[in-house]
Amino acid sequence: MDFRELIRARYSVRKYLEKPVEEEKIELVLEAARLAPTAVNYQPFRLIVIEDDATRKALARAYNRSWFYNAPVIIVACGVPGEAWVRADGFSCLEVDVAIVVDHLILQATELGLGTCWIADFKPDPVREALALPAELVPLILIPLGYPGGQPRPKKRRQLTELVYRHETKGDRAI
Ligand SMILES: Cc1cc2nc3c(=O)[nH]c(=O)nc-3n(C[C@H](O)[C@H](O)[C@H](O)COP(=O)(O)O)c2cc1C
């Protein structure tokens, strides 16, 4: 699959087969995450891989969708605020770094025929409790991982003309 095909093939999978994910594929997905760039290469993230039934079910308290907590694997992407690069004006790159890590992971999963979904709309406290997370880790994105059980949906996206402004050298406004 070339890159153009890959980014078209990825979609948010909200139905997973019960089929387990091979350990080698999990390793490849995690390796893609490891190779992601981060600001100043500080790598302020930790990934928690959950395969056991009891913990996945406990995560229902954080995000109560059966397609999520029944997925064969759940990866919790955490940021470590104290390790992130912070710009002089106070802007922390923590969430940017974790987003790039998650995107690497998700695209590698797609290339391996696996489905994923970004999940940000969860309750953090039940995640902390289910995983006994140390205080320095902040759960930012939950990622179910498994073989897709449904069909891709067509992509609905705005037109490039709405999203991109070609900066004109004449005039003083970007937009
Ligand atoms: C940062 C982020 C958070 C998201 N959170 C959720 C979520 O909590 N639950 C969910 O079902 N989908 C979530 N999504 C998936 C988006 O709804 C989805 O990516 C978008 O509608 C485009 O569809 P596609 O991924 O199938 O191309 C999230 C996506 C991103 C990038």
Q: How far is the CA of 169 from the centre of ligand 1 (A)?
A: 36
Give, using CA atoms, the residue closest to atom 31 of ligand 1: 118
For position 35, what pLDDT does the model report? 98
Which of 14, 64, 117, 140 for mutating ligand 1's site (highest number of atoms within 8 Å of CB)? 117
Q: Which two tokens stand for residue 46?
A: 């930790």
**Ligand 1 atom with the shortest distance to the CA of 14:** 11
What is the fold of 3-163? Answer: NADH Oxidase (3.40.109)
For the stretch 70-92, pLDDT in tens is 999 999 999 999 999 999 999 99
Q: Is the CB of 118 under 6 A from ligand 1?
A: yes
Q: Which residues pair with 148 in a beta bridge?
A: 16
What sign does the CA torsion over 157, 68, 118, 91 have? positive
E strand or H helix at 4 = helix 3-9
Q: Is the CB of 52 under 6 A from ligand 1?
A: no
Q: How far is the CA of 109 from the centre of ligand 1 (A)?
A: 16
Q: Is the CB of 143 under 6 A from ligand 1?
A: no
For the stretch 26-37, pLDDT in tens is 999 999 999 999
**Ligand 1 atom with the shortest distance to the CA of 153:** 26
Domain boundaries, the chain: 3-163
For the stretch 159-174, pLDDT in tens is 999 999 988 776 666 6
Predicted model pTM? 0.96
Task: Give the separation between CA 132 and CA 103, rounded to whole angstroms.
Answer: 25
Residue 52 identity: D
Q: Is the per-residue pLDDT at 128 higher than 80?
A: yes
Strand order in the sheet with 115-116: 45-50, 73-79, 138-146, 115-116
Taking the CA of residue 99 as centre, how many other CA atoms within 13 Å lie in the half-sphere pointing to its CB?
Answer: 6
For the stretch 140-165, pLDDT in tens is 999 999 999 999 988 999 999 999 99
**Ligand 1 atom with the shortest distance to the CA of 142:** 8
Task: Give the separation between CA 16 and CA 13, rounded to whole angstroms.
Answer: 7
